Structure formats: C-alpha cells, structure tokens
Amino acid sequence: MRSVTGKESKFDAFVDKLKKESPIHIAKRMDAPKWLPIVIRIAAVVAAFLVCAIVTAFFEPSAFGTFFVEMFRGTFGTPRRVINLFWEAAILLLIALAVTPAFKMKFWNIGAEGQVLMGALMSATCIWYLGGKVSEGGLIVLCLIAAMAGGAIWTLIPALFKAKWNTNETLFTLMLNYIATAIISSAIALWVKTGSHVVGIMPNGHLPTINGQDYVLNIIIVALITVLVWVYLRFSKHGYELSVVGESINTAKYIGISVPKVIIRTMLLSGVLCGVAGWLLVNGASYTISTTLAGGRGFTAILISWLAHFNPLTMAITSFLVAFMSRGAAQVSTIANIGGSFADIVTSIFFFIVIASEFFVNYKVKFNFAHHKKNDKKGDSKDESTLSDTSSEEQTTEETTGVAVNEAQEETMSEFNHPIQHAEQTSDERSDNDETQNKEVTE
Amino acid sequence: MEKTVAIELRGITKTFGDVVANKNVDLDVYRGEILSILGENGSGKTTLMNMIAGIYFPDEGHIFINGEEVVIKSPKDAFAHKIGMIHQHFKLVDTFSAADNIILGEKCPKFDLKEEKAKLIEAHRAENEAYENYDEAEHPGPLAYMTKPKFHPEKETKRRLALMPLVGIGRRIKFNWLAKKRADVVQDIANRFGFKIDLKKKIYDMSVSEKQTVEIIKVLYRGADILILDEPTAVLTPQEIEKLFDVLRNMKAAGKSIIIITHKLNEVMAISDRVAVLRKGEHIATVNTSETNEQQLTEMMVGKKVSLNIDRAEPHDVKNRLVVSGLTAVDVDGVKVLDNISFEARSGEILGIAGIAGSGQRQLLEAIAGLYKVKDGTITYFDPNKDDAPVDLRSKTPVQIRDLGVRLSFVPEDRLGMGLVGNMDLIDNMMLRSYRKGFMFLDRKSPKKLAETIVEELEVVTPSTHTAVRKLSGGNVQKVLVGREIAASPSVLMAAYPVRGLDINSSYTIYNLLNEQKEKGVAVIFVGEDLDVLIELCDRILVICAGKVTGVVDGRRAIKEQIGLLMTKTSGDVDENQMSIDELHDEQNIDNDEGGEAL
C-alpha cells in the first residue's frame, strides 16, 4: 500500500473497464408486475422437472420418457399413494408452519428437527409407560400434551437465552438437535434391552382411521393448523407484534413492545407446533420412535418456509411440490433401478433450480452484446450500437453507489466522447433513448 | 517560521443531486501545522476532507500536493500521496491484535522471478570470475579461507534456478506469517510519537480511545504525511483528549500536517495553529488561532441571520406541561450523555432544543419517552385532563406511560428505523400506535381511514395506502410519521430533526403542523439543527452541549451568535455562560431577565 505500482493502477483500469463493458448487467427489479414472479416460479418448476428427467436419462437412458409417467404413477397411481403424498406434504407443511413465526421475527431457528424429535419422544414415552393403562382416547390426548411440552421446552431454552443474553440462536438450536438425538438414543437403549435397539410398532395410542384409512385425520389436523397459523400471522395482534420485532427492534421498543416477551411467546408457539408434528409422526404415522423419525424434514421445512416467503397458504403449495418430487422420484428410482439416493438428488435439483429462480424474481439481467460487436470492429461502429452503449453505461452509473457515480461520469465524459458525439448526431433517437433511460431510472 | 504548502485546494465544488455540499473551496495546509476545520452540521467539512482522502471525487476544482496537481480517485491514490484519514467509525478487525490490524493489507514486495534469476546468474558469474582471479598470495594469514570466493559449478546454478519459485513462496510466507519485523516498525512509530499502547492487545479488548490510537498508527505506518482526523474527540473523555492532543503536537513537531474536523471551539483554540471555517459548503475564512477568539469564530460559523417567514403565534394559556429536572443518564461505556438537565415544556409553546449533533438530544427525548435508562433526576407530566395533576414519568416503559393516560407523541430522528417500519405499508404503520385496541385480533379499518386522511390532508405522494413506506420519498415518509403522531392528539409532541433531508415545501408543511399543534395547546418540543429555523419557529430555545444545558433563550429575542456560542461551550460552568449571554444581551440592548431561566 505504500506505493501504487504501475501494475496495480493498470489492474484498476481493467476492473473499471470490466464494470463498464461487461456484457451482462444485473439490476434490481423495482415494481415488477404482479404476475411476473409467479410466471418465473412456474417456469422454474417446469425447468426443474425437465432437468430432473434429463439427469435420470443419464443414469438410465430409457428413463427419460418413463420419468414423467413414473413420477405421476408414484404419487397419484393408487388412492393409497395419493394419501401418502398428501401426508408427506402435510407433515412438511406442519413443520414449516412451526418455524415460520420464528423466521418472521428474524429468529433463525434451525432446530426444528430436534424440536420435532423431542415432541415425538415425549409422546412415545407416554405410550411406552401408560399404554394399556389408560383409555386410548385419554392416552392420545396425554401424548399430545406431552409432545407439545417437549417441543416447547426445546424452543424455550434458546428463546430464554436469546431474550436474556442475546445468544446466537442459530448455533444454539442447531446444537440442540444433536442433544435431542442423543436423548432419544438413550431412551431407546433404556427401553429396548435386546441388541436390536429398535422400538417396534407400539400397539397403543394410534390415531383413529377415517374411512379405514390412516393419515387422513393427520392431514385434516394439519389443514386446520395451516388456517389457524395464517390467521394468527395475518390478523392477530401477536402476529403483528412479531413482524414488527422482525422488521425493526428499535421500532418495537419505540411503540412499547416488550421484545423478550415476544421472542419467548413466539418460540413457544413454534415449539408447540413442532411438538404436534412429533405427535403426528408417532401417534399418527409410524407408531414407533427412532432417531431418524424426523428424517431431515426439520431442515427441508426451513426451505419450504423461505420459498413461500413465510406465507402459510403458499407454503401448502411448496410443501406439496416437494413431497411430489421426493415421492415421485422414489418411484422412478425403483422402476428404473437407480438406487435409493436418487430421490434425494431429484429433490436437491428441484430446490436448486427453484431457489435460483428467486434471483430472477428479484433482479433483471440485461445482455449487452452490442459492446462486443463494437470492440471487434473498432472504428466502424454503427450509431445503433453506440447508442445502446451510452444507455448501458449511464444505467450502470445510476446503479453504482454515490461514491462511484462521479468517477464514472467523469470517465464517461473523457473516454467515451465518441459514442456521445454519435448520439448527438441522431438527436431524435437520442431523445427517445433518454426517455427510456429515465423510465428505467425511475423504475 | 517558513512554511511550505503541503496541500492546496483550489475551487473545489461537490454536489449531491441538488444539494451543494462544497462550493468553490480554496484551502491551504502547511507542513508541520495543525489546521482545524470548523463548521456547523452539514457545512461540508467531512465532504471536503473525504475528497482529499479519495472517498469522493470533486465535481470541479484542483488539488495540489507539494505544488503538483494530483488526481485522487480512491483512498489508495490518497495513500500514494501520503494522505491518511481517520474516520469517525473505526475500520478494524476485532479479533486481530493491534499490530496485525496495522500491518493488515500491506502488499508483499513483488517477487519477480525473471529478475531474481538474472540476479542469481549474475552473482554466480561474478563470484566465479573472482575465484578464477583469486591469488592466494595476496591474502595471507590463517583465516584467508573465510574471504575466499567460492566456485559455483553450473550444476549448482541450475539447481538454485530451479528452486527459485520456492524462494518466492518462502519470502511471501515470511512476510505474511512471520511479520515480527513489521511489528517492530510499528512499535518504533508508536514510541516515536509517544503513543502509549500495547500492540499485542486484541481490538475487542480495547477502549474507543485505544482503537483510535490504532487507527492513527495505521495511517502513520503507511507513511502518511497529511493526517485528517474526523471529529476525533467526539468519542473521548477529557483526559483522553489531552493525550491525543499531546500526540498530535508530537506529530506536528515531526513535520506532519494535521487536519482536524471539529465543532468544539475550546479544542480548536487549544490545539490548532489555524482555523478554516466552513459555512453551508463555502469556505468563509482561514484565520490564525492566535489572532482570533471564540466569539469571532462563532460569528463566522453561524453567519448572518436569514429570514424564513415562518408564522409564529403568541403563545396563550401557557402552563407547565412537562417538567424535567436534574436528568442524568449514562451510555453503555458509563459516559454521561445527559448531565443534570432541567427544563420545562409548556402547553401552547414550542420549545426548541439546539445543540451540536450528538450532544444528548436523542437520549433526552428517548429518556422522556421511556426508551432510555435514566440514572438520576425526575420527569413530571402535568395531566391536563386531571386538573394538571402531576404524573411521574421517570423510568416508565412506553406502555406504562400510555397506560397512565399521558398523551405523549414522539417523532424520532430515525424515521424508518424507529418511527416506522419500512417494509410495512401505510396502514400497518398507522397501526403501530393503535393495534393494541380490541381483543386478540387487529382492526385494520380505522388505521386505513387514518392513513387515507393523512394522505389527503398532508398531501402525501404515494401510489396507495398499501405501499411500503420505504418506497416513499423522505418528505412523504416524514409526513406519514408526523401525521400519525399528531393523530394521537397529544398533549406533548416531541419531534427530533423533523425537517432533516426535506425540501423547502415539505419543511414548511411540518412547521405549519407544529404551529397548529402549538395553537391547540400542545407542548411541542422541537429538536433542530438549523439555527434560523429554531429562532423563527420556537418560543424558547434550550441549548445543550455535551449533555449539559448551557442556556435557555427567548426565541423572539435570540441571536444566532449567542446560541452558537452556547452550543460550543464544552468547558466552564453555567455561570460563565450566563455572563456571556448577559454580555450579548447588553450588546444588543435587550433586557436580560430571560437569563434567569438558564438556571
């Protein structure tokens, strides 16, 4: 830093040049039409399907066509599969709903996995010790209460620490996941004295079936909770308070919201919902307990919540898509003989593309090939290309920060005299151009 | 004493949009001197210095360093010209030691492989030649073998050439990870200028003053001859300021040029050789400190009175509404931000609060609103609905204050960060004040009505009431905020810098709103920065400086210089200030019964 060598200043000049003459310009979208994000997202889902099909064809050339067929066969092939699909979507949705209030409050709870597991463990504990001793209905209710308490305790711990000492909730909740897993292992070791360390299907505490089908009641419960959470976030005072806390703690203090109180209350709600998810997993689906019961759904749910921009109703669609992808891909992998991890690959591709599409929702990308034309044939540049040059330059100038603006303008004046002159010659075109520029700026 | 010019500014102009930050500024800085840049808030001091330091680029004008015209486009360029700036906000890596922070970012000297190879070949060739010409008879003695040149066979040269890239890596490692030598250089600099600092200490363990020292050493280490300090004393205690000034004097003695931005007059008088005064972006004058006094500097700083034609009604039905006495508060570091503040706000009056930014205005208003912890003193509210029964507001939360039936509205300085939620729409922002009404669920109807009324009456330019407020312009944001606060029909209305960043029309809208409230019998507290506005708008003006009340003056009889002087009086007790007010009043043939209020 003591001296600026010639090389460094050359490098700076190179960077400047790159900034100005880059063929791609990225600008933030301001006030895009309402349909645009929806179209982009639908396009992303379609693209994700296509890419998944192509990837499948890599493993099994014959599978390209069968991919689509089997995707649907795996999810909608039989009534049972339809219920399975909806159940998978429902449990993902429920956990996503559980983490959403916290995220809206900008409390980065990534411990849903552990919170669900703790709920499940509490429920399983009730069944293990009280199964057969109390009536079935009473047992189910007891399980529910215990599960809610389990999940709530697991969120209350980081919430209290955050509210009192402002600890980092992300690390805290993540670590609690491992503790939850370890506690479950210990519990299983305590209960199962044989070497298998597997708690078999427990005979008591099953949720009632509807029309002979299990899972249906689960799905109804989740649907109800979805509506409740939506109402809570959108129309209740609590929901309003937590979004104010999430947006600006200073504003919250200014209008007299007690921030610690809101944090603890919201996290309790989050934990209770995770507990319900654990309860549904134990009493309504698997009837057993294991460390892999949540199966990574606690993390997938975070993605679902984010992709839906914390809107419970959109979340229903997202979780359904994710469930569809993973269930369908499982079927494809069975039929095409590709292997169990295939479902994970397909789901990741899906997430990858859909998340990437958010970039295009928020930013517009402009390609500017005219520049390269100009650079290739120096000297005989056409008015058209120079015009687009000036527009793009000035646009980037507007987009850069205040510090850079003047530098850039300065250089535009000195280095790019020649396109500007051209532009002035064709004054009509230039004024049109100006108008569009202004529009872009105001946009 | 002969002076050589270190840096010369000629005709520097800088505009941001329509705002002229600096206009045609000429300034000289000499070697081995301390120059103070003095000016009110927004007079363009920092902008001007940022242009020298390469953060901004001037729109017009020339900069000469040591007589040569230079172009400073980036801080890097500034460093190349030996200019270093110490900003108000430090840029240090918390987990690094002081020494590491100082040497951080320094480039390893370039290792040119070709050159080094050529050097090696040449060295070997030369030594081989010497070996061949070596005559043992010429160097007798038993120790002659030590000076005898060695022969380097071609094989050895080739081997060492092949290993040359490793030497480059080795040097780089030594430079980056075994930086003891560089740390020693840093220690030397610290010793030379009399900095007392442990360079092995981590930044997170350091006090503000130590961090500042690190920043200064960093600039010196990089070889700066011209140092710019942006309000260096704002964060320091008086003892620390004294220490800093000693160091600055040492640096001056070593021939460095020091520019110090400040608005504390006593410090200007204490440290600087010359003072350059800026006002509204223009360079008013540069004077030798020894030939001036605080009074003259204040006059230059605040300038002549400008008439604004703000309507001001005579207050009627004046009663004490809010009485603050002996209010004291400390910040996280234990420094007193409010020191024994006493005043009363009266119904039907606008009380102005004048002071340099950061003199405790924010803390004062927040303490009243129940947002800042009070250490000592009382805040009493006289409830107009209960026959002016006194209500103690000290150490109450905003909710408790409201539950007591105190109608206190507060327009905070940070509009989008505190008063409003930027990402929420107008309706939800209206709801901030009213959402508690009702059971469990929100009522969006009345906030919507309120939002519509405000949009209509205050002519807020917005696409709809469903637009996020952050998308509105500054003036409209402020109208929304003030509108909401007034809608609560307050009996005390506090507004901190309500016209900051607003254009003329919006500013007048806000003045009118405040005046309307005053006529309704509201006690209005207006924290402002423009003295002309304060004098024309307010009935009484409370001047604070560094957390202390330095005077209360009558808005109708106040003169700018008088307020300016009170604003910059850091040292000395109130009595002294009282005298100066009296003197000023005498000068202006104004009777000074107002003076009683200062105490």
B531-570 pLDDT, tens digit each = 888 888 999 999 998 888 988 999 888 888 888 888 877 5
Q: What is the ipTM of this complex?
A: 0.70
What CATH number is attached to the domain comprising B543? 3.40.50.300
- Tell me the per-residue pLDDT of B348-361, one tens digit each, with 9 for 90 and over: 999 999 988 778 88
> Looking at the structure, do residues B391 and B349 belong to the same domain, yes or no?
yes
Residues 6+ apart with CB under 8 A from B72: B51, B52, B53, B54, B57, B63, B78, B81, B83
What integer pLDDT is reported at residue A20 of this predicted model? 61
Mean pLDDT of all residues in B104-121: 81
Q: How far is B126 from chain A (nearest CA, A)?
A: 31
* Residue from A3, A30, A247, A407 to probe the interface with B (highest B Cβ count within 10 Å): A247
Mean per-residue pLDDT of chain A: 80
Chain B residues touching residue A228 (CB < 8 angstroms): none
Chain A residues touching residue B431 (CB < 8 angstroms): 240
pLDDT higher at A422 or B446: B446
Residue A170 touches partner B, C-beta closer than 8 Å: no
Contact A254 B418 (CB under 8 A): yes
Q: How far is A220 from chain B (nearest CA, A)?
A: 25
**What angle in degrees, to the nearest 10, is found between the helix axes of A297-307 and A312-336?**
130
What integer pLDDT is reported at residue A277 of this predicted model? 96
Chain B residues touching residue A2 (CB < 8 angstroms): 79, 106, 222-223
What integer pLDDT is reported at residue A129 of this predicted model? 93
Chain A residues touching residue B441 (CB < 8 angstroms): 235-237
What integer pLDDT is reported at residue B133 of this predicted model? 81
Cα angle, residue A62 at apex, residues A61 and A67 outer, rounded to 5°: 100
Contact A255 B398 (CB under 8 A): yes
What integer pLDDT is reported at residue B268 of this predicted model? 86
Contact B16 A253 (CB under 8 A): no
Mean pLDDT of all residues in A230-249: 92
Q: Chain B window 48-77: which residues touch A at a Cβ cutoff of 8 Å? A: 55-57, 59, 73-74, 76-77
Strand-by-strand arrangement of the B68-70 sheet? B68-70, B60-65, B5-16, B19-30, B282-288, B274-279, B34-38, B257-262, B226-230, B83-86
For the ranges A111-125, B245-259, B432-446, B567-581, the lowest mean pLDDT is seen at B567-581
Residue A253 touches partner B, C-beta closer than 8 Å: yes
> Looking at the structure, do residues B124 and B27 belong to the same domain, yes or no?
no
What integer pLDDT is reported at residue B367 of this predicted model? 92
pLDDT higher at B188 or A267: A267
What integer pLDDT is reported at residue A102 of this predicted model? 94
What integer pLDDT is reported at residue B36 of this predicted model? 92
Give the three-class secondary structure for B598. Answer: helix
Residue A2 touches partner B, C-beta closer than 8 Å: yes
pLDDT higher at B537 or A24: B537
- Boundary of a domain, candidates B171, B201, B231: B201
Q: Is residue B310 part of a domain?
A: no
Domain count, chain B: 4
Backbone torsions φ then ψ of B565, nearest 5 degrees: -65, -40
Indicate the DSSP class of residue B465.
T
Q: Which helix (H) or strand (E) element contains residue B27?
A: strand B19-30
> Looking at the structure, do residues B460 and B537 belong to the same domain, yes or no?
no
Contact B440 A3 (CB under 8 A): no
Q: Is residue B384 part of a domain?
A: yes
Could you list the residue range(s) of the whole structural domain that residue B25 is in? Answer: 5-95+205-302
Cα angle, residue B447 at apex, residues B442 and B449 outer, rounded to 5°: 135
Q: Is residue B436 part of a domain?
A: yes
> Looking at the structure, do residues B513 and B403 belong to the same domain, yes or no?
yes
Report DSSP letters for B86-129, one per residue: E-SS----TTSBHHHHHHTTPPPPP--HHHHHHHHHHHHHHHHH
- Tell me the per-residue pLDDT of A268-310, one tens digit each, with 9 for 90 and over: 999 999 999 999 999 998 899 999 998 889 999 999 999 898 9
Interatomic CA distance for residues A9 and B264, integer angstroms = 40
B55 vs A2, A241, A403: nearest CB? A403
B398 vs A1, A256, A407: nearest CB? A256
Q: pLDDT-based confidence at A230, cuts 50/70/90? A: very high
Q: Is residue B307 part of a domain?
A: no
Task: Name residue, tokens 């005390």.
Answer: B492
Q: pLDDT-based confidence at A19, cuts 50/70/90? A: low
> Looking at the structure, do residues B425 and B505 belong to the same domain, yes or no?
no
Indicate the DSSP class of residue B199.
T
Q: Is residue B112 part of a domain?
A: yes
SS (H, E, C) chain A: CCCCCHHHHHHHHHHHHHHHHCCEEEEECCCCCCHHHHHHHHHHHHHHHHHHHHHHHHHCCCHHHHHHHHHHHHHHCCHHHHHHHHHHHHHHHHHHHHHHHHHHCCCCCCCHHHHHHHHHHHHHHHHHHHCCCCCHHHHHHHHHHHHHHHHHHHHHHHHHHHHHHCCCHHHHHHHHHHHHHHHHHHHHHHHCCCCCCCCCCCCCCCCCCECCECCHHHHHHHHHHHHHHHHHHHHEHHHHHHHHHHHCHHHHHHCCCCHHHHHHHHHHHHHHHHHHHHHHHHHHHHCCCCCCCCCCHHHHHHHHHHHCCCCHHHHHHHHHHHHHHHHHHHHHHHHHCCCCCHHHHHHHHHHHHHHHHHHHHHEEEEECCHHHHHHHCCCCCCHHHHHHHHHHHHHHHHHCCHHHHHHHHHHHHHHCHHHHHHHHHCHHHHHHHHHHHHHHHHC
> Looking at the structure, do residues B112 and B141 belong to the same domain, yes or no?
yes
Cα angle, residue B79 at apex, residues B192 and B102 outer, rounded to 5°: 50
> Looking at the structure, do residues B257 and B329 belong to the same domain, yes or no?
no
Residue A8 touches partner B, C-beta closer than 8 Å: yes
pTM: 0.69
Q: Is residue B131 part of a domain?
A: yes
Residue A439 touches partner B, C-beta closer than 8 Å: no
Task: Report whether pLDDT(A10) > 80.
Answer: no
Phi-psi region of A198 (alpha: psi -120 to 50; beta: other; left: phi over 0): beta
Q: Is residue B315 part of a domain?
A: no
What integer pLDDT is reported at residue A242 of this predicted model? 93
Interatomic CA distance for residues A329 and A340, integer angstroms = 9
Task: Name residue, tokens 């930086």.
Answer: B179
What integer pLDDT is reported at residue A185 of this predicted model? 93
Give the three-class secondary structure for B390. Answer: strand
Torsion of CA A152, A158, A159, A161, to 10 degrees: 140
- Tell me the per-residue pLDDT of B464-521, one tens digit each, with 9 for 90 and over: 888 888 888 778 888 899 999 998 889 999 999 888 777 777 888 889 899 999 998 8
pLDDT higher at A169 or B575: A169
Q: pLDDT-based confidence at B577, cuts 50/70/90? A: very low
> Looking at the structure, do residues B392 and B502 belong to the same domain, yes or no?
yes
Cα angle, residue B498 at apex, residues B494 and B500 outer, rounded to 5°: 150
Q: How far is A175 from chain B (nearest CA, A)?
A: 24
Cβ burial of B387 (10 Å; 0-12, 13-18, 19+) is: exposed
For the ranges A159-173, A194-208, A399-413, B334-348, the lowest mean pLDDT is seen at A399-413
> Looking at the structure, do residues B395 and B499 belong to the same domain, yes or no?
yes
Backbone torsions φ then ψ of B488, nearest 5 degrees: -75, 10
- Tell me the per-residue pLDDT of B34-69, one tens digit each, with 9 for 90 and over: 999 988 767 888 889 889 988 888 888 899 988 888
Give the three-class secondary structure for B43. Answer: coil
Mean pLDDT of all residues in B159-174: 83
Residue B398 touches partner A, C-beta closer than 8 Å: yes
What integer pLDDT is reported at residue A260 of this predicted model? 92
Mean per-residue pLDDT of chain B: 83
Task: Report whether pLDDT(B586) > 80.
Answer: no
- Boundary of a domain, candidates B166, B201, B236: B201
Give the three-class secondary structure for B197. Answer: coil
Which among B94, B85, B98, B89 has a CA at the least distance from the CA of B222? Answer: B85
> Looking at the structure, do residues B333 and B396 belong to the same domain, yes or no?
yes
> Looking at the structure, do residues B293 and B267 belong to the same domain, yes or no?
yes
Backbone torsions φ then ψ of B309, nearest 5 degrees: 55, 50
Interatomic CA distance for residues A180 and A111, integer angstroms = 10
Q: How far is A409 from chain B (nearest CA, A)?
A: 10
Task: Report whether pLDDT(A381) > 70.
Answer: no
Q: Chain B window 523-562: which residues touch A at a Cβ cutoff of 8 Å? A: none
Q: pLDDT-based confidence at A85, cuts 50/70/90? A: very high
Instruction: Give all domains of chain A, ordered by start, each with its CATH number.
Output: 36-363 (1.10.3470), 370-442 (no CATH)
Residues forming beta bridges with residue A25, ordered by sequence position: A366
- Tell me the per-residue pLDDT of B502-517, one tens digit each, with 9 for 90 and over: 777 788 888 989 999 9
- The proportion of chain B whose per-residue pLDDT surpasses 90, expressed as a percent, equals 18
Taking CA–CA distances from A249, the nearest residue in chain B reads B418
Task: Report whether pLDDT(B110) > 80.
Answer: no
Task: Report whether pLDDT(B270) > 70.
Answer: yes
Residue A24 touches partner B, C-beta closer than 8 Å: no
Mean pLDDT of all residues in A111-128: 94
Indicate the DSSP class of residue B469.
G
> Looking at the structure, do residues B388 and B496 belong to the same domain, yes or no?
yes
Q: Is residue B37 part of a domain?
A: yes
